[in-house]
């Protein structure tokens, strides 16, 4: 009997199947993943796992035995090559597997450097999967020279781990400042200074012209004409939603797989959740690339498959760990026209306003600022900028 088939065994897929079973869904559930391991956490990959501070088994979202015990058919190392919407079947090699409901939790794929500029040389890495990190781990040795392409959070996190390993780190960013796409200048300034204190050579307004080497990368020519020797290159230039299967099946694509407020695609029995999905938001469409969104959206879709018809309401929050700094971000800063900063007792936060309304908060080693900002934003409330900027004011008064 056809049941629920989930393509993608990442955070969203794993959350969804567990939620279905935990909420009493008694039909067949199949979870299909291309990687040869059970679903695992991605954030620790490029930090604790790469540094050797976390064993492989601790990455797993659930013990491997859970899936069989819960009656979930987990298929690892399996690739879905097509979706037959008419027959309501997915194609896995020579097999065709029927579904009553299909969920696309295909996630995202990292953008890579073109082969024409040396992107296919050995020693050029992206940071996305367990295999990616295992491939680069042997190169993380003291004294090795690493070039990091991209000054977003992925690039900066990689720089922090490399610097902690005693590597010689150069990070380049084509824009005139790091984090320009996602953060205010004040947050960029904070992290530039942080990395500078740890010896990272950050070069802004500088792109990559080409990599060189015979089979393996050995050098890089930058857009300012400079040339550097490298032992390794890490590429952090963003990710793209994995929409190939959905496109081939004729589903509507709009900045990802377009879903309605319930998480349903243009096919009434096909759903999508996580990085790959864009959903209605404030008169437009939004796609969030984060673990919290993957979890929350998967929970919502699972409930709606079971007939609840509850719209998905995002509660955006993100985090990044670099050296001894924990960045926590609440809200979305799109459309901000004013920034207020607060510094106190080794903590620093950046508060984003659109007019008089608080939209987002970047909190560096400041869990109270994050907590207060998140609660205000989720409640649709704002905060007096003069009180926010005064380090003598206890932020909790803003919640009164």
At 145, list the tokens: 């020279």
Question: In Å, how far from its chain's centre is CA 71?
Answer: 29
Domains along the chain with CATH numbers:
3-109+239-305 (3.50.50.60), 112-235 (3.50.50.60), 324-399 (3.30.390.30)
- Residues 16, 102: Cα–Cα separation, whole Å: 12
Residues for the chain: how many in total?
400
- Residues 3, 77: Cα–Cα separation, whole Å: 21
The per-residue pLDDT string of the chain (400 residues; one tens digit each, 9 = 90 and over) reads 579 999 999 999 999 999 999 999 999 999 999 999 999 999 999 889 988 889 999 999 999 999 999 999 999 999 999 999 999 999 999 999 999 999 999 999 999 999 999 999 999 999 999 999 999 999 999 999 999 999 999 999 999 999 999 999 999 999 999 999 999 999 999 999 999 999 999 999 999 999 999 999 999 999 999 999 999 999 999 999 999 999 999 999 999 999 999 999 999 999 999 999 999 998 999 999 999 999 999 999 999 999 999 999 999 999 999 999 999 999 999 999 999 999 988 899 999 999 999 999 999 999 999 999 999 999 999 999 999 999 999 999 999 8
At 295, list the tokens: 């979890």
Q: How far is CA 182 from CA 13, 195, 208, 251, 332, in A?
A: 26, 18, 21, 29, 9
pTM, to two decimals: 0.94
């Amino acid at each position: 009997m056809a049941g629920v088939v989930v393509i993608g065994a990442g955070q969203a897929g794993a959350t969804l199947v567990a939620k279905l079973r935990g909420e009493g869904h008694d039909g067949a559930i199949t979870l299909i993943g291309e990687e040869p391991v059970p679903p695992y956490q991605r954030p620790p990959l490029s930090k604790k796992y790469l540094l050797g501070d976390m064993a492989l088994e601790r990455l797993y979202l659930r013990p491997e035995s859970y899936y069989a015990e819960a009656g979930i058919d987990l298929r690892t190392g399996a690739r879905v090559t097509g979706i037959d919407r008419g027959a309501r079947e997915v194609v896995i090699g020579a097999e065709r597997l029927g579904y009553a409901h299909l969920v696309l939790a295909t996630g995202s794929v990292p953008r890579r450097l073109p082969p024409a500029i040396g992107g296919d040389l050995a020693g050029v890495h992206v940071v996305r999967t367990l295999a990616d990190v295992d491939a680069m781990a042997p190169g993380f040795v003291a004294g090795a020279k690493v070039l990091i392409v991209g000054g977003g959070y992925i690039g900066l996190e990689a720089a922090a781990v490399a610097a902690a390993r005693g590597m010689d780190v150069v990070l380049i960013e084509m824009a005139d400042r790091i984090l320009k796409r996602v953060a205010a200048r004040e947050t960029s300034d904070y992290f530039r200074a942080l990395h500078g204190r740890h010896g990272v050579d950050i070069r802004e307004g500088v792109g990559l012209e080409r990599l060189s080497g015979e089979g393996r990368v050995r050098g890089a020519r930058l857009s300012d004409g400079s040339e550097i020797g490298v032992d390794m290159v890490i590429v952090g230039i963003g990710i793209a939603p994995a929409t190939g299967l959905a496109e081939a099946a004729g589903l509507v694509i709009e900045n990802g797989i377009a879903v309605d407020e319930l998480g349903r695609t243009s096919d009434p029995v096909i759903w999508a959740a996580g990085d790959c999905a864009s959903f209605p938001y404030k008169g437009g469409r939004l796609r969030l690339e984060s673990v919290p969104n993957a979890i929350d959206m998967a929970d919502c879709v699972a409930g709606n498959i079971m007939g609840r018809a509850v719209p998905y309401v995002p509660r955006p929050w993100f985090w990044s760990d670099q050296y001894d700094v924990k960045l926590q971000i609440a809200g979305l800063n799109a459309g901000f026209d004013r920034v207020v900063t607060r510094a106190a007792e080794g903590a620093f936060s950046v508060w984003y306003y659109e007019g008089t309304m608080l939209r987002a908060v970047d909190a560096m080693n400041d869990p109270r600022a994050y907590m207060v900002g998140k609660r205000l934003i989720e409640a649709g409330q704002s905060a007096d900028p003069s009180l926010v900027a005064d380090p003598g004011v206890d932020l909790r008064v803003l919640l009164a």
